Amino acid sequence: MQNYEKNLRQTTKRQIFFNNFLGGVAWGIGSALGAAIFVLILGYMFSKINIIPVVGSFVAQVQEVVQQKQTPQPAPTR
């Protein structure tokens, strides 16, 4: 216990910041890689069960609606 307290006192704020920064970077990279692998596996599974054409037509319909809503509307007259 005394050895732990001695090491704790010797740890500077700079070391704590650096260790936490490295831990955060590693966590972020790991999360991004994990999410990419998860999406890759889902995409592969969906391609095998032929759900992508259904999703593709749905996305096309959504794009069409969005494009219709983006057409300039006439300004209201007073």
- For residue 22, the model assigns a pLDDT of 97
**Helix axis angle, 13-48 to 52-69, nearest 10°:** 110
* 44/50 Cα distance (integer angstroms): 10
* 58/46 Cα distance (integer angstroms): 15
- For residue 51, the model assigns a pLDDT of 63
Count H helices and E strands in the chain, helices first. 3, 0
Query: pTM, whole model, 2 decimals?
Result: 0.51
- For residue 52, the model assigns a pLDDT of 63
Segments of the chain with pLDDT less than 70:
1-2, 6, 8-9, 50-53, 73, 78
